[in-house]
Amino acid sequence: MIRYVIKRLLTLIPIIIGVVIIVFTINFFTKGSPATVMLGAAATPENVAQVEAEMGLDRPYFVQLGDYLWNIITKFDLGTSYIWKRPVAEMIGERIGVTISLGLLGVAFSLVIGIPVGVFSATKQYSTFDYVATTLAVVLAAIPSFWLALMCILLFSVKLGWLPISGLTSWKHWVLPVFAIGAFPIAMITRMTRSSMLEVIRQDYIRTARAKGMPERRVIYGHALKNGIIPVTTAVGITAGLAMTGTIIVETIFNIPGVGTLMNSAITKYDYILTQGIVLVCALIICGTNLITDIAYAFLDPRIKAMYVNSMKKRQLAEKLLKEAASRAEQAPSTVDGSGTDVSEPEAIDGAKGGDPDV
């Protein structure tokens, strides 16, 4: 398992480098310069060119990209913000806690709602509850998180006045953002749980448990759910990544002091170095979430772990056999003389003819 984790970690390296290159390229060829924002009304072409030269933005593309990658790999340095003149890593570190908290709460909310609804919907297939649950799941999956956030503000904050619009000073400020973030994951987990449970409860061992007179509650929650929850692990990993991206948008709508509002400010002020750092951190979080999901999947499903262990054993056995064959080939005496004639065995002329030499 340790080798599997190390292998997955190594596969993340080219992904992260690719993300950095793509984001850097987009920012490099995008119109607009942080020097224009810094100079304000004094942003003449001459002044902008002078400030860009001082900041090193006039250098060729590959030179800037190489320096940026080199600083990340060797120094773990994400650079310094063009506008705020502060280290990018420090600025992200001050706000990443709020963003991660919102994302985790959104995922936890989706699990608490999605799994029970999916299980109950599967056990009551074709019932009124099943139709209502599946319909709501489809609707929630089709609604963008930002539109849902705006509608929640309009209804619960403006019309009813139940919940505050912005800030994070009390638990009430978390309700609407968490709901907006967790709406799509709820729909995805509900549908995944329902389909997985429907497949499991049709298995022979479930019918056997029912035939033995086992209580239905124990059959569902003690046996079926144990195997039905395994495919949901993949959905949880996907929804966690989607929750992170949705958090950035929702933070801007609710004016939450997280990475989302920082990202919005960086984009509007052409602070490319800060934008690149935020995207890189988000990519690391998503890759880490997928890695944790794969590891959890292997632990939850013994078949995956056994399959990986068996493949590793077969590979090691094949390598051992190849080494032994190569060793025997090196130790065996030469069977060809200098003229190229095979002299390893005497020619059995009579045996080949099938005759008896004594006759």
Write the pLDDT tens digit of every residue in 261-300. 898 888 888 888 899 999 898 888 888 888 888 777 777 7
pLDDT for 238: 78
**109: CB partners within 8 A, 6+ apart:** 178, 179, 181, 182, 186
CA angle 289, 295, 296 (to 5 degrees): 85
H-type alpha helices, the chain: 2-28, 34-39, 45-55, 61-75, 88-123, 128-142, 145-152, 172-200, 204-211, 216-218, 225-228, 230-254, 259-268, 272-300, 302-331, 349-353
Q: Summarize the confidence of residues 14-23 as an average pLDDT.
A: 89
Q: Residue 80's beta-bridge partner residues? A: 87
Residue type, 245: T
Q: What is the mean pLDDT of residues 248-262?
A: 87
Terminal-residue alpha carbon distance, the chain:
70
Q: Which CATH class is domain 92-302?
A: mainly alpha
More confident residue, 318 or 104: 104
Task: Calculate the alpha carbon distances from 230 to 26, 56, 300, 353 in Å.
Answer: 39, 51, 6, 68
Q: Is the pLDDT of residue 350 over 50?
A: no
pLDDT band at 120 (very low <50, low <70, confident <90, very high): very high
The band of 353, judged by pLDDT with boundaries at 50, 70 and 90, is very low
Beta bridge partners of 342: 336
pLDDT given for residue 303 in this prediction: 64
Which has more pLDDT, 325 or 307?
325
Q: Are 184 and 140 in contact (CB under 8 A)?
A: yes
Least-confidence region, from 97-106, 216-225, 328-337 = 328-337
The predicted pLDDT at position 347 comes to: 47
pLDDT greater at residue 252 or residue 347: 252
**CA neighbor of 280 nearest in space, from 126, 88, 56:** 88
- What one-letter code names the amino acid at 221? Y
| pLDDT exceeds cutoff 60 at 359 | no
CA dihedral for 69, 71, 76, 80, sign (positive or negative):
negative
Q: What pLDDT, on a 0 to 100 scale, did the predictor assign at position 314?
A: 67
Domain spans of the chain? 2-75, 92-302
CA distance 118 to 187: 9
Furthest-apart CA atoms within the chain: distance in Å: 119
pLDDT of amino acid 349: 44
pLDDT higher at 11 or 341:
11
Residues 129, 120: Cα–Cα separation, whole Å:
8
The pLDDT mean for the chain works out to: 81
Local structure of residue 215 (DSSP, 8 states): -
Q: Please say if the pLDDT value at position 90 is more than 70.
A: yes
pLDDT in tens, 160-184: 888 888 777 788 888 999 999 888 8
What is the CB-side half-sphere exposure of residue 296 using CA atoms within 13 A? 15
Overall average pLDDT of the 100-118 stretch: 90
Confidence of residue 311 (pLDDT cuts 50, 70, 90): low
**315-341 in b/e burial notation, b at 16+ Cβ within 10 A?**
eeeeeeeeeeeeeeeeeeeeeeeeeee
Mean local confidence (pLDDT), 111-123:
92
**196, 285, 181: which is closest to 243 by C-alpha?**
181
For every residue of 74-130, DSSP letters joined together read HH----B-TTT-SBHHHHHHHHHHHHHHHHHHHHHHHHHHHHHHHHHHHHTTTSHHH
The pLDDT tens digits of the residues spanning 43-71 come to 777 887 888 888 888 888 898 888 888 98
